[in-house]
Amino acid sequence: MWIAVSKGKGGAGCTTASLELTYAATRRTRGGRRRRVALLDLDPQSNATAVVEPETRMVGIKDTLSPESPLALRDVLVPTAWEGVWVAPADRFLANREADITPDGIAALRTARISGEIDDLVDDVIIDLPRDIGKLSATGLLGAEWLFITARATLWGAQGAEEMRYTAERIASKGNQDLKIAGYIVAAYEETRDAKRVLGEMQKTFGEKLLTPPVPRRVRVSEAIESYHTPCREYGAELKVVADTYQNFYDSLLEKVEGAS
């Protein structure tokens, strides 16, 4: 499965969702072994790259999207400290691709998926999309089969999710008919009166695609992910509910895909 994870507005938990879904995938099996995952970091902030601790950053996703002598995607995948996870690293120079990426570069991930270039290496691909809806986001959306949209239960969060849905639908109609929305993830949820009201409005807007339950806010998530580079499940019992929620989201999608095959 090629899965993209996006955020409509900042602070929506997109990178955390990408990392937790990546870890969730490695806890499931295929052919008697644990699933292997490629994490493609399309965010120039490179937070996902830092968390999984790649063995090297000599190559990165920018080299696959390069306008001159691009590298194959398999040649930029690097082993990480997370078992069963390879990463196509990001760095600050990835931002340059917004300016110089060519049509071939924008289609590079789609080409890699359709050709099966890395099918022998990994079972799942998780794409962490950048905040801005630009060429890098388009590259990820053209490559993906499924899209999780993360949002906070706020007015701006709901608006951002709606904007990303519109973008995804345009990509699906113009260049990637395989792209489908897997669901909307409400992240860092606190049950305040306003949050409950917005959540109700999101339910009316997104229907069954609004995934339940919302991911509860836990202050130690950032400590686990950012400071200790550790998946929530491995960090402590307090974060098990967060890990379980993301695991259920991944498992539901896997069951849907395998049931349809």
Tell me phi and psi for residue 40, to 5 degrees: -100, 115
Residue 69, pLDDT above cutoff 80 = yes
Closest alpha carbon to 63 in 103, 43, 93: 93
Tokens 């995952």 locate to: 37
> pLDDT band at residue 96, thresholds of 50, 70 and 90?
confident
pTM for this entry: 0.96
Average pLDDT, the chain: 94
Q: Is there a contact between 126 and 25 (Cβ–Cβ < 8 Å)?
A: yes
Rounded to whole angstroms, the Cα distance separating 96 from 201 reads 38
Asked whether the predicted pLDDT for residue 176 surpasses 70, the reply is yes
| CA gap 151, 185 in Å, rounded | 6
Instruction: Compute the average pLDDT of residues 168-188.
Output: 95
Residue 11's pLDDT band (cuts 50, 70, 90): low
For the chain, the DSSP string reads -EEEEEESSTTS-HHHHHHHHHHHHHTSEETTEE--EEEEE--TT-HHHHHH-BS--SS-HHHHS-SSSPPPGGGG-EEBSSTTEEEE---GGGGGHHHH--HHHHTHHHHHHHHTTTTTT-SEEEEE--SS-SHHHHHHHHH-SEEEEEE-SSHHHHHHHHHHHHHHHHHHHHT-TT-EEEEEEE-SB---HHHHHHHHHHHHHHGGGB-SSPPBP-THHHIIIIIT---HHHH-GGGHHHHHHHHHHHHHHHHHHHHH-
Are the C-beta atoms of 168 and 129 separated by less than 8 Å?
no
Q: Span 108-115, mean pLDDT? A: 97
Within 10 angstroms of residue 250's Cβ, the number of other Cβ atoms is: 24
pLDDT digits (tens, 9 = 90+) for 116-144: 999 999 999 999 999 888 899 999 999 99
CA 70 to chain CA centroid, nearest Å: 23
Calculate the alpha carbon distances from 23 to 74, 138, 159, 243 in Å: 20, 25, 29, 9
Q: What is the mean pLDDT of residues 79-86?
A: 98
Domains and CATH numbers, the chain: 2-260 (3.40.50.300)
Closest by Cα among 84, 99, 93 to 57: 93
Looking at per-residue pLDDT, the higher value among 49 and 97 belongs to 49
pLDDT band at 12 (very low <50, low <70, confident <90, very high): low
Model confidence pLDDT, tens digit, residues 203-240 = 999 999 999 999 999 999 999 999 999 999 999 999 99
How deeply is 235 buried, as exposed, middle or buried, from its count of CB atoms within 10 A (0-12, 13-18, 19+)? Answer: buried
Q: Which stretch of 1-10, 61-70, 96-105, 168-177 has the lowest confidence by average pLDDT?
A: 1-10
